[in-house]
A and B are shown apart, each in its own frame.
Chain A
Amino acid sequence: MKRQIQNVLAIGIGAALTVAMATVDIAGQQPAAQGQGQAPAAQGQGQGQGQGRAAGGGRGGGNNQGRGGRGAQQGPPAAPTPRWPDGKPILGSVPGKAVDGWGAGVTTLPQGMLDQVPFQPWARAAYDIRQIDQFEPHTRCKASGVSRQFSTPYGTEFVEVPDLQRMYILDNGGPNSYRIIYLDGRQFPEKIEPTNYGYSIGHWDGDTLVVETRGLNEKFWLDTRGTPHTKQLKFTERFTRLNMETMEYQATIDDPGAYTRPWTTTKFQLRRRAGEEPFEYICQQYNQGPELMLGTQESIDNSKFYVP
């Protein structure tokens, strides 16, 4: 990653290419946004079975405003945190009740503290370029792990499976995939082949689920704004369900490849999307720009490496 970014710098940040990419990005997201719009429109049908979509679910439109309800909460105070019989908080849906989702809540990991983030110089340069470039791997239908899961419009669903001592986090947007968090007390394997979701192990610290992830590759961004990382990243997340409606989320980034010391983000909040079942959203459906997006196999040339 580091070397690749330096290459980009050498080529020239201000090159017209960058501008062209930014333009394509905006244009390219448009069809996806339309695709996103379709599902909700269709969702209206057959909803007569009392599965009310809660206000503030924020599904509408393809724009940022529609994202996972960071807006002010209305109505009476939220119900208390639901709990399992053993007293641990339920992070996903309450058994026997309707399925709930969580809205997106993470904008950018350095939010409110950009000046305090201990970037290495190349990482800061990469971050700055990405503010202009915005050619995020996610827009090419790459799966996006850890904190990026909570940046995606339409949010996630937490599927706790006590029977199997694990939790899945389902992505609604993007390539419609999932991540596994092991809760069976296992240790990290000696060798982890790096992937977009990495290898996640969780444990409880009081009412907070602490999830540590290793084995992340460099093929995705940690958030929509392009906070950089390398394969050395150890990513720690703290999930605290404050009440029925709110999940607090905080991450610690320990990556000696990109930062001079570990740093911890501000506390983000995810809002419950009450009664919202996961739906089929396939990034690839409208994401077919032949060159710069996912591309078709006929046009792909693996000898031309793209630098994210």
Chain B
Amino acid sequence: MRRFVVAVTACGLAVCSALLSAQHTPGAKFDLKKPLTLTGTVTQIDWANPYVHILMKVPGQPTPALWAVEVEGPITLADNGWAQESLPLGETIRVEGFAARNGSNQISGNKVTLTSSNKPVYVGVNGTPKARPTATGPTPRWPDGKPRLGPPPGQTGYWGFPTKHGLSEDGQNVQMDDYGLLKNIADASKVAPFQPWALALYRTRQADSLSHDPMFQSCKPPGGPRQYQQLVSGLQFVEQPDFKRVLVLLGMGNRNRRLIYTDGRKQVGQIGGNDDNPLFYGQAVAHWEGDTWIVDTKLFNEEFWFDNGGLPHTEQLHLVERFTRPNLGTLHYEATIDDPGAYTRPWKSSWDLKWVAGEETPYFLCQDDRP
């Protein structure tokens, strides 16, 4: 909840809960100890994911300075009734937010107000966000009786709105924000059965507002369970029985596509990975046990975070994921983390995803708002 700090006072919790932001916890990019208010003239709008940027000219001596104002992403803004045209070029705006950690001319647009009318723009709700009731109905099935992971024939939809945004061991009561940032850092040791080095690293990543996240820093892919934790977009499965594989088409992170093989092949040597060349998405093979789809993945590299909150993993990670679709509207996901390099024993974390019927995965590319 990116605008949490300011928005609680500005718009009340009810409104803020309608806002889901795109990628990083606010403190990752902005210094929450450096509040800043600027007034300037809008010169350009970069309507791009993960965050829309308003470019504005701020008067100054000897010359005006160009500033970038970072506001919500296009998906969230559009969902709340905003369009790029809602803010005409040439308008004067007042921006309240925080200064960028790197000292550049960037400010978080926690509150953006048109000075001419004193009305807010690009923040909060500008209309009624689209209602997305949970789809109801029986589990769609293939002719052979196996559950379909995608839409019923002739329909469309995607999986989104995960009920959990950071991995933590089932049964532990741990509070996190939408980016996997712990509400209370003292809970760190409860999150998973860490080895000491892994706990120390996790605490460091948390204490640094997740700002060293490879996805935030360099748009590295969200491999492992993280692809099922994405906030404002989602993912689709395309099952291809003819080719004995399942395509996972991610809407968020890097809008990557990846493959899960269901042809009974062995683990080694597929899709370009091996011990010398481990992969972001690893090598995944899957099979059905009753109505449960079990995906077994190995050969991950260590260049990414496999959950939003910065849990460490090593190349020894062996991930077993169990998917069940108890009805049309719900995908239950359970990850078993077996990584003797980082944890003292295997452990589980599970959550649900919601079927968003009739909609395409919202378009999202991590690198879109970058130069």
CB atoms of A177 and B257 under 8 A apart: yes
Interface string of A194-225 (1 = CB under 8 A from B): 01110000000000000000000001000000
CB neighbours of A40 from chain B (8 A): 272
CB atoms of B105 and A303 under 8 A apart: yes
Contact A304:B272 (CB < 8 A) given known A38-B277, A168-B238, A284-B219: no
Answer yes or no: A19 CB below 8 A from chain B CBs: no
CB atoms of A295 and B102 under 8 A apart: no
CB atoms of A176 and B29 under 8 A apart: no
CB atoms of A42 and B274 under 8 A apart: yes
Chain B residue with Cβ nearest A99: B243
Contact A159:B268 (CB < 8 A) given known A178-B255, A282-B221: no
**How close is B105's CB to chain A, nearest CB, in angstroms?**
4
Task: Find B272's partner among A49, A140, A165, A280 (CB 8 Å cutoff).
Answer: A280
CB atoms of A301 and B106 under 8 A apart: yes
CB neighbours of B217 from chain A (8 A): 296-298
Give the distance in Å from the alpha carbon of A281 to the alpha carbon of B254 in the complex.
Answer: 12
CB atoms of B257 and A303 under 8 A apart: no
CB atoms of B370 and A303 under 8 A apart: no
Interface string of A18-53 (1 = CB under 8 A from B): 000000000000000000001111110111010000
Contact A175:B365 (CB < 8 A) given known A305-B44, A306-B371: yes
Answer yes or no: A79 CB below 8 A from chain B CBs: no
Contact A278:B271 (CB < 8 A) given known A193-B47, A295-B371, A303-B104: yes
Answer yes or no: A300 CB below 8 A from chain B CBs: yes
CB neighbours of B47 from chain A (8 A): 193
Task: Find B102's partner among A42, A161, A175, A299 (CB 8 Å cutoff).
Answer: A299
B66, B74, B221, B370 — most chain A CB neighbours (10 Å): B370
CB atoms of A304 and B258 under 8 A apart: no
A40, A142, A177, A300 — most chain B CB neighbours (10 Å): A300
Of the four ranges (under 10, 10 to 19, 20 to 34, 35 or more), the interface on chain A belongs to 35 or more
CB atoms of B272 and A305 under 8 A apart: no
CB neighbours of A99 from chain B (8 A): 243, 245
CB neighbours of A161 from chain B (8 A): 238, 240
Interface residues of B in 246-280 (CB under 8 A from A): 247, 249, 254-259, 265-266, 268-274, 276-277, 279-280
CB atoms of A43 and B272 under 8 A apart: yes
**How close is A126's CB to chain B, nearest CB, in angstroms?**
18
CB atoms of A141 and B219 under 8 A apart: yes
CB atoms of A159 and B240 under 8 A apart: yes
Answer yes or no: B127 CB below 8 A from chain A CBs: no
**How close is A266's CB to chain B, nearest CB, in angstroms?**
30
CB neighbours of A295 from chain B (8 A): 218, 370-371
Contact A277:B242 (CB < 8 A) given known A140-B370, A195-B363, A300-B370: no
Answer yes or no: A302 CB below 8 A from chain B CBs: yes
Give the distance in Å from the alpha carbon of A170 to the alpha carbon of B273 in the complex.
Answer: 19
CB neighbours of A164 from chain B (8 A): 150-151, 153-154, 156, 238
Task: Find A294's partner among B219, B240, B249 (CB 8 Å cutoff).
Answer: B219
CB neighbours of A285 from chain B (8 A): 220, 280, 303
Where the two chains meet, the residues of B that have a C-beta atom closer than 8 Å to any C-beta of A are 24, 28-29, 44, 46-48, 53, 55, 66-68, 70, 74, 78, 100-102, 104-106, 150-151, 153-154, 156, 211, 216-221, 238, 240, 242-243, 245, 247, 249, 254-259, 265-266, 268-274, 276-277, 279-281, 303, 360, 363, 365, 367-371
Where the two chains meet, the residues of A that have a C-beta atom closer than 8 Å to any C-beta of B are 38-43, 45-47, 49, 93, 95-96, 99, 140-143, 159, 161, 163-165, 168, 170, 175-178, 180, 193, 195-197, 219, 277-282, 284-285, 288, 294-306
